[in-house]
Amino acid sequence: MSKTQSTSREQRVASHSHIKGLGLDDEGFAKEDRNGFVGQRAAREACGLVLQLIQSRRFSGRALLLAGGPGTGKTALALAIAQELGPKVPFCPMVGSEVFSSEVKKTEVLMENFRRAIGLRVKETKEVYEGEVTELTPAETENPLSGYGKTISHVVVALKTVKGTKQLRLDPSIYESIQKERVTIGDVIYIEANTGAVKRVGRSDAYATEFDLEAEEYVPLPKGDVHKKKEIVQDVTLHDLDMANARPQGGQDIMSVMGQLVKGRRTEVTDKLRAEINKVVNSYIEQGIAELIPGVLFIDEVHMLDIEAFTYLNRALESTISPHVILATNRGLTTIRGTDNEPGSGSHGEGIVSPHGVPVDLLDRCMIVRTLPYSREEIKEVLGLRLKVEGLGVKEDALDKLADDGVRTSLRYALQLLTPASILAKLSGRTEITLEDVGETDSLFLDAKSSARMLSQLGGQSQYLR
């Protein structure tokens, strides 16, 4: 019996496509090969506890710091936490160097990403007319302003539900909304009674067999009466609200539109505007209309931030509206950026040295999780997972060689050899990667350690590299 192929569109294969979650059992213990995660059991179990704190809304005011060498799964852990939280919880990844923008201030970039990681779920109960369109007839009349042409005086729409049918006589402005939504007979729509806004839900499933091939979403016929009260849920982030209110509303003439396009610079939102938005958001929350959903802000390579950004980050963590913050770094004792000229930083201006390049007052707020280098068996398992995700075949001796390369150099280097080796195998007319393909790929490319060793051996011949 053949398996039915999924009709969902597959995403492109990325660095962490195999990560589906933290891979913990019901008691919070890490399983060896679950949800695409291999190894890092202690780190995964620690992140599982942090995940429970986030889900119970008890992680505010502090941060999680993932510390470990390159290629030990720090980004994978952060993405796994995002997968566990689900698609409805905002997850905003950024890199420490992003704050050094030529267009806006460092603090503005940080606050923008903070606001991106905070969601607002607005629930409104509205009076709506909902059903399948069975009639759509615009009524025309003579244009009173001109002797030529006609204008639409009203539009007659008939909506059908499981319970019955209702005919509506609507204003011409609502007909414009219907045209914008490209509504035709057989579509399921709802019209808000107060505002007259029209929303096309999809095509009625009674027409599902109309075409053999169609890129259309079919929905069932609505139940109940045509006129009803409906709870409408909208998910937005605070950054969306900032942008909607900060963008200048120019005129509709061609010069205004072109001016907005040509300008093209990022809009910097003022603290005053954010305070006003926060006030409205808080009033919505108090009325029970909206619910605040703190998401996750993930800052990779956090040692790239400077002392000013760290100070701002400290303050932002204390604010009443704050997301859950996850930081990652691969540095040990290192100088904090921007402290070269600080008083007491040293006689030669070498800067303040701190663990992970993060100020001690911010480190005090962090729960630090360490990631360890992978063993040979774990590297082999990760390679096997990636081969499966990328749909590549490999012989056992070739996989052993790749695992040995991973131990000798790094896991990332071994992973990078997979695709070139598969291309060499295809060129040779093979469906599986062999030991010969891996050896040839290894001879074509250098890992970081080999490259550095070669350059150091050249020594005085460095002038030939210019």
What is the predicted pLDDT for the residue at 190?
Answer: 87
Task: Express each pLDDT in 118-154 by its tens digit.
Answer: 999 888 788 888 999 999 888 888 766 665 667 788 8
In this predicted structure, what is the pLDDT of residue 413?
87
Lowest mean pLDDT among 3-17, 89-103, 177-191, 361-375: 3-17
Q: Residues 395-414: what's their mean pLDDT?
A: 88
Q: Is the pLDDT of residue 99 over 60?
A: yes
The helices-and-strands tally (H runs, E runs) of the chain is 15, 19
pLDDT at 335 over 60: yes
Q: Say if residue 4's pLDDT is above 70.
A: no
- Residue 302: what pLDDT? 93
The pTM score is: 0.71
pLDDT exceeds cutoff 80 at 83: yes
Percent of the residues in the chain that have a pLDDT greater than 90, as a whole number:
13
CATH 3.40.50.300 residue spans of the chain = 33-117+295-371
| CATH 3.40.50.720 for domain 33-117+295-371 | no
Distance CA 376, CA 371 (A): 16
Q: What is the pLDDT of residue 147?
A: 58
pLDDT of amino acid 41: 86
Average pLDDT over every residue of 55-77: 86
- Compute the average pLDDT of residues 330-358: 78
* Of the candidates 280, 382, 366, 359, the residue with the CA atom closest to the CA atom of residue 321: 280
pLDDT value, residue 466: 44
What CA–CA distance (Å, rounded) separates 247 from 270? 12
Q: How far is CA 138 from the centre of its chain?
A: 43
Mean pLDDT, rounded, for 407-414? 87
Question: Using one digit for the tens of pLDDT, what is the confidence trace for 276-295?
Answer: 988 989 988 888 888 888 88
Q: Report the chain's mean pLDDT, rounded to a whole number.
A: 82
Query: pLDDT value at position 256?
Result: 52
**261 pLDDT above the threshold of 60:** no
pLDDT of residue 349: 58
Roughly how many angstroms between the first and final C-alpha of the chain, as a whole number?
63
What percent of the chain is modeled with pLDDT above 70? 84
What distances in angstroms separate CA 450 from CA 147, 300, 379, 416, 459, one per listed residue?
85, 27, 20, 16, 15
- Where does CATH 1.10.8.60 sit in the chain? 376-455
Which tokens hold the place of 121?
């779920």
In whole angstroms, what is the distance from residue 226 CA to residue 131 CA?
6
Residue among 453, 448, 398 at smallest CA distance from 420: 398
Outline which parts of the chain fall under CATH 2.40.50.360: 119-288
- CATH of the domain spanning 119-288, picked from 2.30.110.10, 2.70.150.10, 3.40.718.10, 2.40.50.360: 2.40.50.360
Going by the DSSP 8-state scheme, the letter that residue 336 receives in this structure is: P
CA 64 to each of CA 19, 69, 227: distance values in angstroms, whole numbers, following the listed order: 19, 17, 50
- Predicted confidence at residue 20, as pLDDT, reads 77
Please say whether the beta carbons of 55 and 82 come within 8 A: no
pLDDT digits (tens, 9 = 90+) for 183-203: 889 899 988 888 888 888 888
Q: What per-residue confidence (pLDDT) applies to 329?
A: 93
Residues whose CB is less than 8 angstroms from the CB of residue 177 and which lie 6 or more positions away in sequence, other chains included: 196, 197, 198
Residue 6: its pLDDT value, please? 34
- H or E stretch at 287: helix 271-287
| DSSP-assigned letters across all residues of 125-153 | EEEEEEEEEEEEEEEEEE-TT-SSSEEEE
Our measurement of the distance from residue 221's CA atom to the centroid of its chain's CA atoms, rounded to an integer in Å, reads: 33
pLDDT tier for residue 9 given thresholds of 50, 70 and 90 = very low
Q: Quick one: pLDDT at residue 8? A: 35
Nearest Cα residue to 134 out of 170, 179, 167? 167
Within 10 A of 390 (CB to CB), how many other CB atoms are there? Answer: 14
- pLDDT greater at residue 213 or residue 372: 372
Partners of 371 in beta bridges: 68
Nearest to 138 by CA among 166, 165, 176: 176
Q: Name the residue with higher pLDDT: 268 or 360.
A: 360
Identify the architecture of domain 376-455 in CATH: Orthogonal Bundle (1.10)
**The pLDDT value given to residue 67:** 93
- pLDDT at 463 (0 to 100): 47
